[in-house]
Structure 1
Amino acid sequence: MKVLLLGLISLVYSASAVPVNENEPVHWALLVAGSSGWYNYRHQADVCHSYQVLHNHGIPDSHIVVMMYDDIAHNKENKMPGIIINHPNGSDVYAGVPKDYTGEDVTPENFLKVLQGDKSGMAGIGSGKVIESGPNDNVFVYFSDHGATDLIGFPSAELMETDLKQALENMSKQDKFKKFVFYLEACESGSMFNNFKIKDLYVTTASAPDESSYACYFDEKLGTYLGDVYSVRWMEDSDKANFNTETLLKQFKAIRRETNTSHVEKYGDLSIDRDTLGEYQGSGSKFNNVQVVDLADKPLGAVPSPEVPMAILHHQLMAAKDPRQRNEILQKIVQLGQAQQKMMSVLQSTVSILLDGDLVDKVMSRQGVQVTNWDCYKTSVRYFSDRCFPFRENDFALSLMYILANLCERQEVSTDMILSSFDKHCK
C-alpha cells in the first residue's frame, strides 16, 4: 500500500511538470550560486532555498539544474553540519538539492552550455544535465553572486554581459523557449540587461546598473550572512504566494517595496509580468509542506555586498571577549582595510599615469558607463584579478571595476598601457 501511494505521488509530480498535452509549456529551471567560501554562505543558501521553492511546487529534479560550489554545508565553520539555512531560525534548505555541477565545474563556460542545452559539450562533466527546452517551454533562471559593471562572478572567472546576451539571443533564434524569466542577485546587476531586449525575455535585478546589492540576516552562531535582501524577499513571497493568481508584476512590486537598500529593476519584455508565478516557478499547488515564516519585523541588518568581509570581522570583534582574540581580529580588520586601500591606489595610479586633469576624476567616478570596448574591458578585468587582486579572495575589488570600464572607453588609452601599469603597481 505504501509503495502504491509513493507511486501515485510520483505520478502527480510528473504530471504537474510534464503536461499530457505536448503543446502545453514545460517548466525548466537553472539555479546558480557563483561564489565559494564561508563568508559567501548566503549565495548558496539563496540557491538552495530557490530549489525548495521550485521543487515544492512540482518541478521535478530532471528539469532543474543546480550549479554551486558546495563548500558550505560540510564546511568546517558550519556549526550545523550538513545544514544550510536562508533566514534566522530557518529550516534546512540544503536537503535534497541536486549536486549537478559543483566545485571547479561551476564556470561561465559550463553555465552557458547548460543554459543553451549543449548536452554533448557537458558530457562527462557533473551530472551532464542541461536545459533541454523547446519552443513551447518556459525557462526560469536564478543567479546569486557578486557582480560589477557588465559582469557577474563565478568562483574563478567572470561572465560578461556580451557573452550572456549572445547566448540568450541564440536561444531565442533557435526557439529554445516560449517565455524566459531571469532573476539576478548581484551588485550592479542592472548593467547586465539594461542594454538589450529580447522578445519573451523578462528580467528582474537586485540593483540598478551603478549600485550594490545587499546581504542580510547576520547569524551570530554561524558568523556569516544567511541571505541577500532581494533574494530572500522574492523567495519569502513565493513561499506563501498563490501561484495560480499571483503575477510576476505583483511579486516585483512586493520585492521592490520591501527592498529599500537598492533599487530593484526590471528589463526586457515587460508584457510578461502579467503572467502568474505558476508559469515559471512551478504549478499552482504545493506538493510538500513549506515553512512559511513572517519576517516582516525581523531586522535585515543589511550591508552592501562588497563590505560583507569587513562587516563579519566587526561582528566577530564585538562578540570576542578574550583580549588576545580581539587583537587578532583587529589585525585582520587593519589588513583588510589596507588591502582595500591598495586596490583603489593601484587603479588611481593607473588612471593618473594614463590621463590628465579632469579626465582622471571623470574616469574614477561611478557614472554608469556602458561598455563598448569589450576586448579591453575583458582583458583588463581578468589581468587585474590574475596579476593584482584575485577576485576569489578580494570581492571588494569587483566593486571597483567600473573604473576599468570607464578607462577602456577612452580612445587615447590602449589595453597594453593598462596592463603595463598593473605590472608596475602590482608587484
Structure 2
Amino acid sequence: MPSTTPFTSPAWKRCLPLAIIPLAFLLLANRLDAVNHSNNWAVLVCTSRFWYRSVKRLGIPDSNIILMLADDMACNPRNMFPGTVYSNSERKLDLYGDGIEVDYRGEEVSVENFIRLLTGRVAEGTPRSKRLMTDERSNILVYMTGHGGDEFLKFQDAEEISAFDLADAFQTMWAKKRYNELLFMIDTCQANTMTSKLYSPNIVATGSSAKGENSYSHHADSDIGVAVVDRFSHFVLSHLEGMNKTSSSTLQDFVNAYSYDIFHSNPGARSDLLGRSMSEVLMTDFFGGVSSVELAALPADSPVGSAAEPTKPEAIWKLTTSRWNSARRTADDSFAGPGRSLQGHANWRKLSPTLLLTLTFAAHFWAAHKLT
C-alpha cells in the first residue's frame, strides 16, 4: 500500500482550493485596508497654479480640483508671454496650459472663503465648482504658498490665516466626516510653524522651512526679470513629473530626498497624526485618481448566484462584514497559527488588487467544480 502524507492525501487535495480562498481574501483585505478611500481632491491656494497641471495629469479630474488664485500672472501686462506660466527659464513646460479652471480668483481668495470651503459652510447659492464635495472616504491634498511667518500665512497682503485657524478648520472637517486622510503642504517662510498646532486624526503635513528660516526662490527668467518658482515648489514639481498614475513612490521616499543643499532651508514633515507610516502612503494616494472596487457576497446557496437572486453588480461584489472577518480569521489560524495574525505584511499589501481578485474567484470556481 503506497504511503501517503497529509499533503498527498485525497482529502488534502480537495481542501486545498478552499484553503486558498480565505488567504486570497486576506491579501485583498489588507490592500483595501491600506487604501480606504474612494476619491481624491486637491485644494490649491495662491501660487499653487503650478500643481494644477500635475495633479490633473496624475488622474484627479477638474471637478475635484479647487484652485484659488489671488493674481492672474498669465494675463499680467508685464508677462512677455501672455496666457502662459512657466516653472523654468527654458519655458519647456507651460503650467497654465489649456483648460485650466480657476474657481476662486482675485478678491474671492480670502481667509473666510478658504475656511468656508474646507468646512462646507459656503453660501446656499454657491455653484458646485466652488464647493469641496468630500466625505469620509475622500483623501484631500491642501497645498498653500505665499508670504508668511511664524504661525501665519498672508492672504492678499491684507489678512492672515494663523496656525490655530487652520488647525480648527481641519478639526471641523474631521468632525463633519469630510475626509479620510489629509495631506497638508505649505511653501512659505517659517512654513513648519503652520503645522505645529494641528491635532486632528489622519493628517500628514510638510513645510518648506523651519522656524526662523526663509524659503527661497529657485531661479529667475531674465526676459521677464523675476523668479519663476520657489525652491520647494520646483523640487516637488520635478518629483511629480517623474511619476505616473501607477507609481509606487511613497511619501517617505519624497521626504527622504529633502536636502538643505537643495532648499537652503530645513523642510520638515509631521506624521504623528496619520496613524500609519509614511512608507505605506503612496504619493498617488493624494496626487492621483482613484479606481475603487468594493467586494460583495455571493448568494449563500450558489457561488454564481441564482434565478431567485439575480447577480447584480452590487450583489456580486459586496463581501459582508461577517464573511470577510470569518475568512480572515480562517486564514490567520491556517497559515499563521491559532491566535496569530497575518495582517500587516507590507509586501502583500503592495500586490495588485486585480491579481488578488483573479486568484480569489479562480480558486472559488475551481473548488465548486471539483466538489460537485
- Counterparts of 2:38 and 2:54 in 1: how far apart (Å)? 19
Does structure 2 conserve the Cα–Cα contact (< 8 Å) formed by 1:233 and 1:258?
Answer: no
Does structure 1 conserve the Cα–Cα contact (< 8 Å) formed by 2:37 and 2:180?
Answer: no
- Counterparts of 1:73 and 1:27 in 2: how far apart (Å)? 27
Q: How does 1:218-367 map to 2 (within 5 A)?
A: 218-242=220-244, 243-256=246-259, 259-268=262-271, 269=273, 271-274=276-279, 275-283=281-289
Indicate which of 211, 214, 219 corresponds to 1:212.
Answer: 214
Shift of 1:89: 1.3
Change over 3 Å in CA distance of 1:272–1:117 after alignment to 2: farther
Change over 3 Å in CA distance of 1:169–1:24 after alignment to 2: closer
Which residue of 2 is the match for residue 66 of structure 1?
A: 67
Which residue of 1 is the match for residue 173 of structure 2?
A: 171
Does structure 2 conserve the Cα–Cα contact (< 8 Å) formed by 1:234 and 1:255?
Answer: no
Higher RCO, 1 vs 2 (CA within 8 Å, ≥6 residues apart): 2
SS in 1 for 2:287: coil
SS in 1 for 2:66: strand
Structure 1, unmatched stretches of 5+, are 1-22, 34-43, 286-427
* 1:106 and 2:109 matched: yes
For 1:29, the aligned partner's letter is A
Q: What count of residue pairs does the alignment treat as equivalent?
A: 250
Shift of 1:215: 1.1
SS in 2 for 1:88: coil
* 1:136 and 2:137 matched: yes
Change over 3 Å in CA distance of 1:257–1:281 after alignment to 2: farther
Structure 1, 63-72 or 241-250: larger mean CA deviation: 241-250
- Counterparts of 2:115 and 2:161 in 1: how far apart (Å)? 9
Shift of 1:99: 1.4
- Counterparts of 1:259 and 1:112 in 2: how far apart (Å)? 32
SS in 1 for 2:257: helix
Which residue of 1 is the match for residue 185 of structure 2?
A: 183
Change over 3 Å in CA distance of 1:59–1:138 after alignment to 2: same
Q: How does 1:11-90 map to 2 (within 5 A)?
A: 24-33=37-46, 44=47, 47-90=48-91
Cα shift readout 1:98-152 (whole Å, capped 9, x = no counterpart): 110101000011011112223436x358x75221111111001111101111100
For 1:30, the aligned partner's letter is V
- Counterparts of 2:258 and 2:235 in 1: how far apart (Å)? 6
For 1:48, the aligned partner's letter is R
- Counterparts of 1:128 and 1:279 in 2: how far apart (Å)? 22
For 1:31, the aligned partner's letter is L
Change over 3 Å in CA distance of 1:229–1:284 after alignment to 2: farther
Q: TM-score, normalised by structure 1?
A: 0.55
- Counterparts of 1:279 and 1:257 in 2: how far apart (Å)? 27
Which residue of 1 is the match for residue 152 of structure 2?
A: 151
Change over 3 Å in CA distance of 1:265–1:24 after alignment to 2: closer
Does structure 2 conserve the Cα–Cα contact (< 8 Å) formed by 1:116 and 1:130?
Answer: no
Paired-residue identity, %: 27
Does structure 1 conserve the Cα–Cα contact (< 8 Å) formed by 2:37 and 2:139?
Answer: no
Shift of 1:49: 2.0
- Counterparts of 1:227 and 1:69 in 2: how far apart (Å)? 16
Q: TM-score, normalised by structure 2?
A: 0.63
- Counterparts of 2:113 and 2:277 in 1: how far apart (Å)? 28
- Counterparts of 1:79 and 1:113 in 2: how far apart (Å)? 36
Say which structure is richer in helix: 1
For 1:266, the aligned partner's letter is A
For 1:167, the aligned partner's letter is A
SS in 2 for 1:183: strand
Shift of 1:196: 3.5
- Counterparts of 2:170 and 2:197 in 1: how far apart (Å)? 13
- Counterparts of 1:199 and 1:256 in 2: how far apart (Å)? 28
Change over 3 Å in CA distance of 1:272–1:152 after alignment to 2: farther
For 1:187, the aligned partner's letter is C
SS in 2 for 1:225: strand
- Counterparts of 2:261 and 2:283 in 1: how far apart (Å)? 18
Does structure 1 conserve the Cα–Cα contact (< 8 Å) formed by 2:251 and 2:283?
Answer: yes
SS in 1 for 2:141: strand
* 1:92 and 2:105 matched: no
Structure 2, unmatched stretches of 5+, are 1-35, 292-372
For 1:278, the aligned partner's letter is T
Change over 3 Å in CA distance of 1:236–1:169 after alignment to 2: same
Shift of 1:198: 2.3
Indicate which of 199, 202, 205 corresponds to 1:200.
Answer: 202
Cα shift readout 1:358-404 (whole Å, capped 9, x = no counterpart): xxxxxxxxxxxxxxxxxxxxxxxxxxxxxxxxxxxxxxxxxxxxxxx
Shift of 1:160: 1.2
SS in 2 for 1:280: helix
Q: How does 1:370-381 map to 2 (within 5 A)?
A: none
Q: What is the RMSD of the two structures over their aligned residues, measured on CA atoms?
A: 2.2
